[in-house]
Amino acid sequence: MKQKMGMGILKIGAAAAIVLLFVIIHLIDPNFLPDLFAMLASGDISATVEYIRSFGDWAIVFAFLLTLFTNTLGFPPAVIFSTANVILFGIVPGIVLSCVAETVGATIAFILIRFYFRESAEKAIAKSPFLSKIDQYSGTKGFIVMLIGRMIPYLPSALLNAVGALSSIKLREYVIASFVGKFPSTGIEAIIGHDLIMKQEDHTRLITVIIAAGILIYAAIRYEKHVIEATAASKCVEKQG
């Protein structure tokens, strides 16, 4: 009883801290949050580029924080910011910046969702044999599933954040799978957006990235299949022994 009460107070305190952060930002600059949310809601990549550029020498820091924030929030799609980042800072630096910021944002979302909702999810899982099997599978195979999920371009990050947080995957595995998996998907999304906006006629780079991403996804799926087959064979040997 005391433990539940303490956890409840902790959750309220964490929520209050988040609200307080927004209040402090609003007090420092009343126009910042309305302008930011209006820009996010528009989904305009060109406007996003100019907005980030307006911060001058701090543009790269703001781009990192903005990409992190939107991936924590799950809105709008990350492709807007990965595209803006490659336009502003170049293909390779922009993709690296986006992947790191997106991973940090996804990790914060994972921690918050698990902190607030995992207990409720565990109660629902305990009542369903089907959900119990899925939860058990996510604990043992969650890394490869999350890795493949992150590799798929345009798959909503918010969905993967929630699925990961409510499953049994370990935080360390979630972070590594998200970071590695985001490189091919973010690369494809960013380069497509960059080439469309900059009206790039040579698609050699884009085709190369798509082929490389396809090879990575195929290799990950084959590895997962190999692990499943090896585990099944091991269990069969143990039963025969």
- For 19-58, what is the HEC assignment? HHHHHHHHHHCCCHHHHHHHHHHHCCHHHHHHHHHCCHHH
Number of domains in the chain: 1
- Say if 20 falls within a structural domain: no
In a domain, 22, yes or no: no
Residue-level pLDDT at 101: 93
Mean pLDDT of the region 80-102: 91
In a domain, 15, yes or no: no
> Which range among 26-30, 124-128, 181-185 has the greatest average pLDDT?
181-185
- State pLDDT tens for residues 149-187: 888 888 888 888 888 888 888 888 899 989 988 888 888
> Tens digits of per-residue pLDDT, 34-73?
877 777 777 788 888 888 898 898 999 999 988 888 888 8
Q: What is the pLDDT of residue 89?
A: 93
30 in Cβ contact with 37 (< 8 Å): no
Residue 7 inside a domain? The answer is no
Q: What percent of the chain has pLDDT over 70?
A: 75
* Separation between Cα atoms, residue 88 and residue 205, nearest integer Å: 18
As a whole number of angstroms, the distance between CA 174 and CA 103 comes to 10
Q: Does residue 154 lie in a domain region? A: yes
Q: Is the pLDDT of residue 207 over 80?
A: no
Domain that holds residue 116: 31-240
Residue 95 has pLDDT above 80, yes or no: yes
Q: What pLDDT is attached to residue 69?
A: 86
Residue 106 lies in a domain: yes
Distances (CA, A) of 183 to 28, 107, 178, 187: 36, 16, 9, 6
Distance CA 163, CA 168 (A): 10
pLDDT exceeds 70 at position 202: no
Mean pLDDT of the chain, nearest integer: 78
